[in-house]
Amino acid sequence: MNGGIAIGFFDLDPESFGAWAKEHDLPRYLGDQVLRWVYQRGVTDPELMTDVSRRARSILAEEIRFGDAIPITDRLASDGTRKLLLGWPESERTRRIEPEVGTALPVMPEEPSRQTECVMIPSDQRRTACISSQVGCPVGCRFCASGLEGLEGNLTRGRIVEQAWRLGRLPGVDRITNVVFMGMGEPLANYKAVTNAVRTLNAPWGMGISARRITVSTVGVPAAIRRFAGFDVPVTLALSLHAPNDELRREIIPWAEYSTVEELVDACRAYFDSCGREITLEYILLGGLNDRISHARELSQHAKRLRCNINLIRYNEVAGLPFKRPESDDVHRFQAELRRRGVNVHIRASRGRDIAAACGQLRHERRNAS
Residue 59: which domain range?
A: 7-65
Whether 186 and 266 share a structural domain: yes
Q: Where among 65, 88, 112 does a domain terminate?
A: 65
**356/271: higher pLDDT:** 271
Instruction: From the candidates 63, 117, 137, 308, give the one annotated as an active-site residue.
Output: 117
Whether 26 and 93 share a structural domain: no
Q: What pTM does this model have? A: 0.90
Helices (H), the chain: 14-23, 30-39, 54-63, 157-168, 191-202, 222-228, 246-252, 261-275, 293-303, 328-340, 361-369
Instruction: From the candidates 63, 111, 359, 365, give the one annotated as an active-site residue.
Output: 359
In a domain, 94, yes or no: yes
Whether 178 and 58 share a structural domain: no
In a domain, 1, yes or no: no
Q: Average per-residue pLDDT in the chain?
A: 90
Question: Residue 314 — pLDDT band, cuts 50, 70, 90?
Answer: very high
For residue 13, count CB atoms less than 10 angstroms from its CB and return exposed for 0-12, middle for 13-18, buried for 19 or more. Answer: middle
* Poorest-pLDDT segment among 18-32, 77-91, 98-112, 113-127: 98-112
- Which CATH number goes with the domain that contains 275? 3.20.20.70
Distance in angstroms (rounded) separating the CA atoms of residues 218 and 237: 8
Whether 28 and 109 share a structural domain: no
Q: What is the mean pLDDT of residues 135-153?
A: 92
Q: What is the pLDDT of residues 221-275, one digit of tens each?
A: 899 999 999 999 999 999 999 999 999 999 999 999 999 999 999 999 999 999 9
Q: Is 359 marked active-site?
A: yes
- Which CATH number goes with the domain that contains 56? 1.10.150.530
Please give the DSSP secondary-structure letter assigned to residue 55: H
Distance in angstroms (rounded) separating the CA atoms of residues 38 and 20: 17
Cα 9 to its chain centre, rounded Å, is 20
In a domain, 2, yes or no: no
Distance in angstroms (rounded) separating the CA atoms of residues 26 and 39: 21
Whether 51 and 112 share a structural domain: no
Report how many helices (DSSP H) and strands (DSSP E) the chain contains, helices first: 11, 14
Distance in angstroms (rounded) separating the CA atoms of residues 250 and 258: 9
Q: Is 144 marked active-site?
A: no
Whether 26 and 156 share a structural domain: no
Q: What is the domain count for the chain?
A: 2
Q: Where among 65, 91, 111 does a domain terminate?
A: 65
